[in-house]
């Protein structure tokens, strides 16, 4: 039986073959496609988590499609201003990156500079001040790299004992259980980093290589400043990459983020564009963002933005290596916007409950 994805691909191929891709470009009039990326893989991270990492070859191919298709790649602030004024050029695209990992500095920006495309980086600032691998991400990656190994899980999950991660499903379960157990202990960043060393020893994982290549780490403050001076638009993504439901904690996240971004970029200008961490958004945040002077907020909900779109619920296409070229082209032309889209917020909640 054909899968839903197979059926969708068949429709896309038929649409392109019959000229509907070309005809659908009219759907892109006054509609903005905001592309979302997180990291560019240094090694095999894109095989482990394609929603977080894309390989360099695929990323370069995407930019080539933008150039060859003569799409208007606009800075975020300009694109949104024109969209809400109903003056957006046809086939407009904006490129955004989330988080601010070192691979943006080392891999993504050089490719973007080669094509001459502007980019907005939504920077989460806490780990810029702590030059160690991001704990939850590194923990999950190391366990994934060790599927099939047997190891002592004492201190990693409540029951401890010997454990073997035999497949992806067991990896997902152990990752979630162990991270919840560790979070409950309220360890410091330094203690969590020591725990990575402990896990590496038990798994016989070469953590020193990962540290040397700065995989799963953030840019340093100096590197953030380099990017700002190079013209990268640095915007907000919370300080600690979390979305508190408490108004004062939420406000603290944004204000800490603003202070750090201004300090690292060396500018007095206050960033006013925001991106919800992990796609965790809700309309209850809108008045808080308004109070803080935010001009926009982007989600990970796929879709095309228009002047009728709420400025704090802007959709983006999360591009990833599992997205085929024809699917990507379908979004560029606007044809894919005709398909119903799944609710990414529901998927986020499901992942948290694994």
Is 259 a residue whose pLDDT tops 90?
A: yes
> d(Cα 202, Cα 78) in Å, to the nearest integer?
51
Six token digits for residue 6:
């197979």
Residue 6: burial class (beta carbons within 10 Å; 0-12, 13-18, 19+): exposed
**Per-residue b or e along 274-300, where b marks 16 or more CB atoms closer than 10 Å to that residue's CB:** bbbbebbbeeebbeebeebebbbbbbb
CA distances from residue 144 to 47, 138, 208, 211 in whole angstroms, order as listed: 10, 10, 17, 17
- Is 4 domain-assigned? no
Residue 9: the pLDDT is 72
User: CA-CA distances (angstroms) from residue 245 to 58, 123, 258, 288?
Assistant: 37, 20, 19, 11
* Residue at 3 is within a domain: no
pLDDT in tens, 27-76: 678 899 999 999 999 999 999 999 999 999 999 999 999 999 999 999 99
13 occurs within a structural domain: no
Q: What is the pTM of this model?
A: 0.92
Cβ neighbors of 266 (< 8 A, separation 6 or more) are 225, 228
pLDDT of residue 344: 57
Residue 152, classified by CB atoms within 10 Å of its CB into exposed (0-12), middle (13-18) or buried (19+), is middle
Sequence-distant (6+) residues with CB within 8 A of 52 are 38, 39, 45, 137
Same domain, 126 and 238: yes
Q: Yes or no: say if 44 and 71 are a contact pair by the CB < 8 Å rule.
A: no
**Interval 305-342: pLDDT, tens:** 999 999 999 999 999 999 999 999 989 988 776 666 66
Examine the domain organization and report whether 48 and 107 are in the same domain: yes
pLDDT at position 15 over 70: no
203 domain residue, yes or no: yes
Model pLDDT for residues 172-197, shown as the tens digit of each residue: 999 999 999 999 999 999 999 999 99
Q: Measured between alpha carbons, how far is 349 from 95 in angstroms, rounded to an integer?
A: 26
Instruction: Mark whether 146 and 118 lie in a shared domain.
Output: no
Indicate the residue among 212, 228, 262 that finishes a domain.
212
pLDDT at position 162: 92
In a domain, residue 1? The reply is no
Above 60 in pLDDT, residue 353?
no
Cα(7)–Cα(244) distance, rounded to whole angstroms?
A: 39
| Residues 168, 302 share a domain | no
Same domain (yes/no): 36, 120: yes
Residue 177 and residue 119 in one domain: no
For 168: left if phi > 0, alpha if psi spans -120 to 50, otherwise beta; the answer is alpha
Within-domain flag for 229:
yes
Q: Cβ distance 100 to 213 under 8 Å?
A: no
Question: For residue 51, what are its two tokens?
Answer: 């929603």
pLDDT in tens, 74-123: 999 999 999 999 999 999 999 999 999 999 999 999 999 999 999 999 99
We report the CATH number of the domain holding residue 265 as 3.20.20.370
Asked if 139 and 107 sit in the same domain, the reply is no
Phi then psi dihedrals of residue 333, to 5 deg: -80, -20
Q: Residue 180: left (phi > 0), alpha (psi -120 to 50), or beta? A: alpha
How many domains are there within the chain?
A: 2
Q: What pLDDT was estimated at residue 354?
A: 40
Which residues have CB under 8 Å from 293's CB, separation 6+?
Answer: 270, 272
Q: Which domain holds residue 116?
A: 27-130+219-352
Domain boundary, last residue among 178, 212, 246: 212
Percent of the residues in the chain that have a pLDDT greater than 90, as a whole number: 82
Where is the domain boundary, 171, 195, 212? 212
Name the band, by pLDDT with cuts 50, 70 and 90, for residue 279.
Answer: confident
Instruction: Let me know if residue 5 belongs to a domain.
Output: no
Chain centroid to CA 163: 31
Residues 229 and 318 in one domain: yes
Same domain? For 117 and 226 the reply is yes
Residue 139 falls within a domain, yes or no?
Answer: yes
């Amino acid at each position: 039986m054909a899968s839903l994805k197979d059926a969708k691909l068949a429709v896309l191929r038929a649409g392109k073959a019959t000229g509907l891709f070309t005809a659908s470009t009219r759907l892109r009039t006054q509609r903005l496609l905001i592309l979302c990326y997180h990291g560019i893989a240094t090694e095999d991270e894109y095989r482990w988590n394609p929603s977080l990492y894309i390989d360099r070859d695929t990323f370069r191919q995407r930019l080539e499609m933008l150039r060859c298709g003569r799409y208007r790649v606009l800075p975020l602030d300009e694109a949104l201003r024109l969209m809400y004024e109903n003056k957006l050029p046809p086939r407009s695209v904006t490129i955004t990156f989330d988080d601010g990992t070192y691979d943006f500095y080392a891999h993504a920006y050089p490719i973007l500079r080669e094509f001459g495309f502007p980019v907005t980086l939504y920077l989460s600032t806490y780990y810029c001040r702590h030059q160690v691998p991001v704990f939850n991400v590194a923990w999950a990656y190391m366990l994934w790299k060790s599927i099939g190994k047997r190891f002592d899980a004492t201190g990693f999950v409540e029951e401890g004992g010997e454990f073997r991660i035999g497949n992806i499903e067991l990896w997902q379960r152990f990752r979630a259980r162990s991270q919840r157990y560790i979070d409950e202990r309220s360890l410091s960043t330094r203690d969590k980093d020591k725990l990575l060393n402990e896990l590496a020893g038990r798994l016989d994982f070469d953590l020193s290589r990962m540290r040397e290549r700065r995989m799963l780490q953030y840019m340093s403050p100096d590197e953030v400043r380099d990017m700002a001076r190079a013209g990268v638009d640095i915007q907000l993504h919370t300080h600690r990459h979390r979305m508190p439901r408490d108004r004062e904690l939420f406000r603290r996240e944004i204000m800490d983020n603003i202070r750090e971004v201004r300090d690292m970029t060396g500018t007095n200008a206050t960033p006013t564009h925001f991106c919800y961490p992990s796609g965790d958004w809700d309309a209850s945040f809108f008045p808080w963002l308004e109070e803080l002077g935010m001009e926009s907020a982007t989600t990970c909900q796929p879709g095309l933005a228009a002047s009728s779109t709420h400025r704090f619920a802007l959709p983006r296409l999360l591009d990833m290596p599992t997205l085929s070229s024809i699917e990507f082209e379908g979004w560029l032309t606007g044809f894919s916007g005709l398909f119903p889209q799944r609710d990414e917020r529901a998927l986020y909640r499901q992942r948290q409950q694994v």
